[in-house]
Amino acid sequence: MHIELSRHSSTKLYSQIAVTLGDRIRSGLLTPGTKLPSVRNLSAQLSVSQVTVSKAYAELESEGLIACSQGKGCYVSAGAGKDQTGDEADLSWQLSLMDYLPRAQLWHHFNHVLPARYQFHKAAIQEELLPTREIVANAYKMLSDDPALMANYGSFSGDFGLRKALASVLNGSGMSVTAENLLITSGAQQGIDLVARTFVGPGDVVYMEAPSYTGAIDVFASRGAKIIMVPMDEEGMRVDMLTKLCDLNPPKLIYCIPAFHNPTGVTMSVRRRRQLVDLAQSYHCLIVEDDPFSSLYFNEPPPHPIKCHDQAGHVIYIRSYSKTLAPGCRIACMAAHGSVLSRLIAAKSTTDLGSPMMTQKALQPFIETRLEQHMEQLRTVLRRRLQLALTVLRKHAPAELSWNVPEGGLNLWLKLPAYADPVSLERRAEQAGVSFLPGGVCYAGEADSRHIRVSFTYPAEDKLQEGLKLLCSLIAESRTASPERKPVL
Amino acid sequence: MHIELSRHSSTKLYSQIAVTLGDRIRSGLLTPGTKLPSVRNLSAQLSVSQVTVSKAYAELESEGLIACSQGKGCYVSAGAGKDQTGDEADLSWQLSLMDYLPRAQLWHHFNHVLPARYQFHKAAIQEELLPTREIVANAYKMLSDDPALMANYGSFSGDFGLRKALASVLNGSGMSVTAENLLITSGAQQGIDLVARTFVGPGDVVYMEAPSYTGAIDVFASRGAKIIMVPMDEEGMRVDMLTKLCDLNPPKLIYCIPAFHNPTGVTMSVRRRRQLVDLAQSYHCLIVEDDPFSSLYFNEPPPHPIKCHDQAGHVIYIRSYSKTLAPGCRIACMAAHGSVLSRLIAAKSTTDLGSPMMTQKALQPFIETRLEQHMEQLRTVLRRRLQLALTVLRKHAPAELSWNVPEGGLNLWLKLPAYADPVSLERRAEQAGVSFLPGGVCYAGEADSRHIRVSFTYPAEDKLQEGLKLLCSLIAESRTASPERKPVL
């Protein structure tokens, strides 16, 4: 621990030490529970006598900022620092520091590790179903055969070998891209973010499905975009309504999740996909096609991606392998053409100089050889999870609860009965150990939301059934539960 | 250079090559001035005859897309690409698509894998000096013992175990932080970017040393900041000048690299560090302390970080381990306090949901056990490199060339003689197989720059000596070389 001491000052050394440490504790730089250096060590570090340090510590203890005990040493006291009124003035200047973060719902909803026994809030796949052991072994083999790979940044657009492997996978979905069309990103989230920082600025109009992915809404909102959400029906985004809206508010960008949409599970029809490309052409705007789930179909594969209909570089296609292969690698790719691509690569360079070589090389062998087989297995297991979930719902859901039956993906989108207040339900569910995503965060504005998103692919089968049953009973109880919020007069 | 060839197509191979290259040129992926591979190299890479490549090049030349000359090879023509009407009709709408990327020097200067024989442009450390094999083995052990780690996103702020290890390292440099004060990022670049996107917007005043790190300039420029660069002397940033400038243009943020500054190698004095904190306190602004190199000292360790003087959460401290441990992992950390930290975490969640678990867990054991020993070894080896470089310079540099003698870090900052035009020198150096960073990119505006940055830590010892000698002779030749640029009327 470093303390600047002035040896020529009229203030005694022990007092200088006490004042400096006291400031650090009050400002939160030294947090409660931190162990202070021993008297012997600090005296050596500062080249002062042990008596000086002892006197400084005694003073801090008398102020209640630290607590010392024989043999254990001195610790910053609980309650020291922030909780002291008056004393926390130190950091208060930060309150006046303007920032550019108008919204970060994702952070609010996911930043604490939820202790929920039944976790339905995460659109993720149960750990045991992911090939993590195989990927780690692949990485080890590849990187220990060629350790120089780890000493390199690689190119901003990502490792060429991985891009080649991914191009071949995408071409299997009907696209025609080469490795040169691809940019590797740290998850789809970064892909969306790169598009936004490159092409979206204050006042630019961004269309999204209503509802949509929270993380994408956050990104566009943080750029100051004018977000307009377009209702959906069973064919996906209502392109007829979008077309009318575009008359008044010409689009800069249209963001959509056409296959097994998050959160609703709806798949966009081929007709709508074509219309969307036509619209983008006539408005000279971009389409961002976010496609994490198209391999996770339970009956039929979804139609070819919108990118397949794109003749003129309007569509930026994003496919993530973070959820389906290894969240610990955070790998996704984007396919784009022309200067749209080269500008995204420039943005990637500014953001982080390119994704880490290690995670890219970890996934490459699996993607080259085992991807299709793994997806086939996932489809089988997740289809069964869905059936189990639907069986519980059919048996235990209160009459007024309704839901979609998704044909792929990870989510159920439940519509609560009119009597169930979502806020109070969330609170009671949390107490009962059940987590879900309240539908409201899937809208850009203050939407109604009678919906909640329940991801059925993260809990094990028994937990899935127990938890859903419990959730059904909590919803049913809402009918009698007293409202917890009173109108504010 | 990779080109997909279909050997069963009715289109001749030379034509496939010409079409692909033509597309890349027209779309701007290959920019004017780019040197194409030699006929011999490309034919070897694509496993086609040299005649095939020659025919492809001839076709591209006849279209005006490239220019070839005996002995020098083929280059993409000025005016190729964007300017061509007709052929690029498909993607041409993209030209009207406004973006928010005013500057990406980093991308321009590093996006092509330079074939230079003597690579002095990369501020990086030679592969053989990095513990990549050990890190890969650690990762394998840790992740195969606990594969569930790979199935998780981890927290937005980064893995707690790694943060704990890093907090202990930082406290060894005189700081007092806990794991809770840290945020793991994908390299320092992402850290700077997170700060900018959170706290810097159009018109906000950002002060930087003149010159500074290109990647940071790009980031602040892309946010629309008003960047003001402050001259340096042997004590670092001229805080007296900064103070005067702040009267007229109050700062939102001050970015600095106080230890072994990039590119100049200068270290900021303790006095200036304290003054900087005082200034930040009186202006309620932030300081970003970018500190990748403080462990790489050749004589004395640099003074304690500015963060050590920070009582009230003004300083955001960034330390990268990307260059010094494993570029393939891209791991850095930021230390901050109060709501400044929590807002940065919110930004990180929007950007990429948190850094990959795999790379974090790969580095943790090394940082816990071997870091200090590794840094000690690096210091010894790099000190020797510096001595070799200085010996060559003293012996071979033309009289008018001058340089700093850095006390740490990776860079030499050479001041060219008045007769040497940096642009023409760069071109001749490239032809001779020597790369360096032209000093101009280290300024926000159109600065003079008679300087070039030569990183002496990436090439092996023999290459370092040969390359520097060659560079000296190229500079000396500038005296007679005719200027290659004529004024455009």
Of the listed ranges A37-51, A179-193, B126-140, the one predicted with least confidence: A37-51
A346 touches chain B (CB under 8 A): yes
Which residues in chain B have their CB less than 8 angstroms from residue A159's CB? none
pLDDT band at residue A454 under the 50/70/90 scheme? very high
Reply yes or no on whether the pLDDT at A90 is more than 80. Answer: no
> What are the tokens at A460?
């094990």
pLDDT band at residue A353 under the 50/70/90 scheme? confident
Of the listed ranges A4-13, A295-304, B127-136, the one predicted with least confidence: A4-13
A201 touches chain B (CB under 8 A): yes
Nearest 10 degrees: Cα torsion A141, A146, A151, A152: -100
A37 touches chain B (CB under 8 A): no
CB-defined contacts A:B, below 8 A: 327
Distance of CA A436 to the CA centre of its chain: 15
Which residues in chain A have their CB less than 8 angstroms from residue B193's CB? 350-352
Query: Which contacts qualify for A320-324: CB closer than 8 Å, 24 or more apart?
Result: A320/A187, A320/A188, A320/A191, A320/A292, A321/A363, A321/A367, A322/A187, A322/A188, A322/A292, A323/A123, A323/A124, A323/A125, A323/A292, A323/A410, A324/A125, A324/A130, A324/A292, A324/A295, A324/A296, A324/A374, A324/A375, A324/A378
Instruction: Select from A1, A94, A140 the Cβ nearest to the Cβ of B338.
Output: A94
How many CB atoms lie under 10 A from the CB of residue A224? 14
Which residues in chain B have their CB less than 8 angstroms from residue A199's CB? 97-100
Query: How many percent of chain A have pLDDT more than 90?
Result: 62
Phi, psi for A73 (deg, rounded to 5): 95, -165
Reply yes or no on whether the pLDDT at A102 is more than 80. Answer: no
> What are the tokens at B454?
């030569």
Mean pLDDT of A108-130: 79
- Domain ranges in chain A with CATH number 3.40.640.10: 129-370
CB–CB contact A358 B357 (8 Å): no
| Cβ contact B334:B164 at 8 Å | no
Domain B118-128+373-477 top-level CATH class: alpha beta
CB–CB contact B327 A284 (8 Å): no
Phi, psi for A178 (deg, rounded to 5): -115, 170
CB–CB contact A351 B193 (8 Å): yes
Query: How many percent of chain A have pLDDT more than 70?
Result: 90
CA distance B255 to A232: 47
| Cβ contact A276:A285 at 8 Å | no
H or E element at residue A138: helix A132-145
What tens-digit pLDDT sequence spans chain B (489 residues)? 667 677 766 678 888 888 778 877 776 667 777 888 888 888 888 888 899 999 999 888 887 888 888 878 888 887 664 433 333 437 777 767 777 765 556 666 655 545 689 999 989 999 999 999 999 999 899 888 888 888 877 789 999 999 999 999 999 999 999 999 999 999 999 999 999 999 998 899 999 999 999 999 999 998 889 999 999 999 999 999 999 999 999 999 999 999 999 999 999 999 999 999 999 999 999 999 999 999 999 999 999 999 999 988 999 999 999 999 999 899 999 999 988 998 899 889 888 888 999 999 999 999 999 999 999 999 999 999 999 999 999 999 999 999 989 999 999 999 999 999 888 899 899 999 999 999 988 998 867 678 999 999 999 999 999 999 999 999 999 887 655 444 444
pLDDT band at residue A238 under the 50/70/90 scheme? very high
> What are the tokens at B433?
């197989």
ipTM, 2 decimals? 0.71
> What are the tokens at B458?
């990436």
Residue with the bigger pLDDT between A45 and B297: it is B297
Rounded alpha-carbon distances, angstroms, from residue A41 to A36, A37, A47, A72? 10, 6, 10, 14
Q: Report, in this order, helix, strand and coil percent for chain A, each rounded to 5.
A: 45, 15, 40
CA distance A270 to A305: 9
Residue with the bigger pLDDT between A209 and A3: it is A209
Of the candidate CATH numbers 1.10.460.10, 3.40.190.10, 1.10.10.10, 3.90.79.10, the domain formed by A13-96 belongs to 1.10.10.10
Nearest to A434 by CA among A122, A124, A117: A117
CA distance A147 to B338: 40
- Domain ranges in chain A with CATH number 1.10.10.10: 13-96
Instruction: Select from B136, B148, B309 the Cβ nearest to the Cβ of A144.
Output: B136
Q: Which residues neighbour B145 within 8 Å (Cβ) at sequence distance 6 or greater?
A: none
B131 touches chain A (CB under 8 A): no
Q: Which CATH superfamily is domain A105-127+373-477 in?
A: Aspartate Aminotransferase, domain 1 (3.90.1150.10)
pLDDT band at residue A448 under the 50/70/90 scheme? low
For chain A, the first-to-last Cα distance in angstroms comes to: 53
Res A457: pLDDT: 96
**DSSP per-residue string spanning B373-429:** HHHHHHHHHHHHHHHHHHHHHHHHS-TT-EE---SBSSEEEEEPPTT--HHHHHHHH
Res B456: pLDDT: 97
| Cβ contact B382:B124 at 8 Å | no
- Domain ranges in chain B with CATH number 3.40.640.10: 132-370
Rounded alpha-carbon distances, angstroms, from residue B75 to A118, A265, B61, B65, B127? 62, 51, 10, 9, 31
CA distance B350 to B94: 27
CB–CB contact A107 B189 (8 Å): no
Which residues in chain A have their CB less than 8 angstroms from residue B127's CB? 148, 151-152
Residues A402-411 pLDDT 10s: 998 999 999 9
**DSSP per-residue string spanning A404-440:** ---SBSSEEEEEPPTT--HHHHHHHHHHHTEE-EEGG
Domain B13-98 top-level CATH class: mainly alpha
- Domain ranges in chain B with CATH number 1.10.10.10: 13-98
- Tell me if the domain spanning B132-370 has CATH number 3.40.640.10: yes
For tokens 């970003």, what's the residue?
B288
Q: Interior CA angle at A14 toward A8 and A15, to 5°?
A: 85
Q: Interior CA angle at B167 toward B163 and B173, to 5°?
A: 150
- Domain ranges in chain B with CATH number 3.90.1150.10: 118-128+373-477
DSSP H helical segments within A301-356, as ranges?
338-352
Rounded alpha-carbon distances, angstroms, from residue A319 to A187, A265, A308? 9, 17, 14
Average pLDDT of chain A?
88
49-68 in A: which are within 8 Å (CB) of B?
Answer: none
B32 touches chain A (CB under 8 A): no
Q: Radius of gyration of chain A from Cα atoms?
A: 27
Of the candidate CATH numbers 3.40.640.10, 3.20.20.60, 3.40.50.880, 3.10.105.10, the domain formed by A129-370 belongs to 3.40.640.10
- Counting every residue written for chain B, the total comes to 489
Cis peptide leading into B406, omega within 30 of 0? no
Beta strands in A264-336 (DSSP E): 286-290, 315-320, 331-335
Question: Ranked by mean pLDDT, which of A380-384, A474-478, B152-156 comes out on top?
Answer: A380-384
| Cβ contact B127:A148 at 8 Å | yes
Mean pLDDT of A391-409: 95
